[in-house]
Structure 1
Amino acid sequence: MYFGKSKKNSLSGRVPPNQNVTTSFPVLHHGNVPYYKDLSKWALRLFGLVEQEQFLTYDDLLAMPLKSSKNDIHCVTGWSKLDNHWEGVSTNDIVHRAALKPEVRFVILHAEEGWSTNLPLEDFIRDTSMLAYAHNGQALSPEHGYPLRAVFPHLYFWKSAKWLKGIEFTREDKPGFWEKNGYHNYGDPWKEQRLTWD
């Protein structure tokens, strides 16, 4: 459900250009939706320019300090969903756990089926950035990234990778799936950086 124009105008300064506010949570992705029945077979790999590669289990993540955040999200396809409540882990806690080498400049998120996306380290460690395992008081659904997804509300939502499997810390940028297929390499919704030529 989309709000009418008058509602949208009342949200000036909160909704980026050419976005429509929705109360639903559209499901958009490339490939299949993974369904985990046994999380003992799942782990989050931290690798690249780190002091020691490691794997975090779901229980490891649950044992880390809880981060709770409320924010708005904006999809490159034109919808915005306001007032999302997320629970999960701070990306700063992940960086601390990974013990990065000083030359790290970029973070590459790796997900199911070989999917990936990229962002600068400074965006990964923003106070508003997190790795989420719950949305609006419920565990993530498979369609929305269970067991773990990234949340970077200051970027278009494709950067908030679903079904995370690994986080790679690198010196060089490595464009991911959508970035290699025409999407903007950074994706600032306020600048409408939707496509490579924007």
Structure 2
Amino acid sequence: MSLFKRQAPERATNPNAKEGPGPDRLPPGQYLTRKWPVLSYERTPSFPPDWRLKISGEVEQPFELTWEEFLALPRVTITTDIHCVTTWSRFDNTWEGVHIREILKRARPLPSARYVMAHSWTGYTTNMPLSSLDDDDVLIAIKHDGKDLEPDHGGPVRLVVPKLYFYKSAKWLDGLEFMAEDRPGFWEMRGYHNRGDPWAEERYW
């Protein structure tokens, strides 16, 4: 049973656009919604006045960025689909933020770095292979569809990893820990799949 707080989504028809894996953009077992449901286990937190983005672990150059330093990094705009483990999908989300490779080129992961744990200032964590993080469509987002990212959706700063179920896109991001060995995060310890590939319906262990 999911522990998410749910907001009922509005269903929409699938336009059958030929993007993403397979002949159809909608992964198996998913339905399309125009709305963006709010799903969180935690209460929506306030933004810490002393927020830092902490890059740690198996990297040549661990570092921290203040909010002002983070905002000064180069930004990109990327449009992606997103897929929730609770079976809804939303197409054509436009994100603005810092591409993950801006972070990787500064941190310089060591050859031993094979996995990453994303950390939130709420204590939430989620793990993934470094190969899933280091992808063309992964970014640390501060805007969604032209507006500041709302706190209920992880604002003002959220990891976005579109090719995995959306519990891997940590809300309220404040750290990336590079690891030699994998270990499960918050939902992964509670039965959600360790990898979370929507196209393989990797919902639960």
TM-score by length of 2: 0.89
1:66–1:87 CA contact under 8 A, matched in 2: yes
CA deviation profile, 1:88-132 (whole Å, cap 9, x unmatched)? 011111111112222110010011332100000111010111110
Match of 2:27 among 13, 16, 37: 16
1:28 aligns with 2:51: no
Aligned twin of 2:132: 123
State the SS of the aligned residue for 1:32: coil
Identity of aligned residues (%): 46
Tell me whether 54-63 or 20-29 shows the greater mean CA deviation.
54-63
Alignment length, in residue pairs? 191
Report the Cα offset of residue 193 of structure 1.
0.3
The amino acid of 1:78's aligned partner reads: T
C-alpha root-mean-square deviation of aligned residues, in Å? 1.4
CA apart distance, 1:67: 1.3
Where do residues 41-190 of structure 1 align in structure 2 (5 Å cutoff)?
41-190=50-199
Q: Mind listing any 5+ residue stretches in structure 1 that lack a counterpart? A: none
In structure 2, relative to structure 1, the CA distance for the partners of 1:9 and 1:63 (3 Å cut) is closer
Residues of 2 paired with 1:111 and 1:40: CA distance? 15
State the alpha-carbon separation in 1 of the partners of residues 174 and 82 from structure 2: 22
| Offset at residue 146 of structure 1 (A) | 1.3
By percentage of residues, which structure has more helix? 1
Pairwise CA distance, 1:43: 1.0
Tell me by how many angstroms 1:52 deviates. Answer: 3.6
**Shift of residue 51, structure 1, vs aligned partner:** 2.5
Question: Match for 2:104: what amino acid?
Answer: V
**Alignment partners' CA distance in 2, 1:50 and 1:97:** 9
1:174 alignment partner AA: R
CA contact (8 A) 1:40 1:57 kept: no
Deviation of 1:9 (Å): 6.6
Distance in 2 between residues matched to 1:99 and 1:78, nearest whole Å: 36
* Aligned mates of 1:10, 1:146 — CA distance in 2: 30
CA distance in 2 between partners of 1:153 and 1:126 (Å): 10
- Using the size of structure 1 for normalisation, the TM-score is 0.92
Q: What is the distance in 2 between the residues matched to 1:23 and 1:8?
A: 11
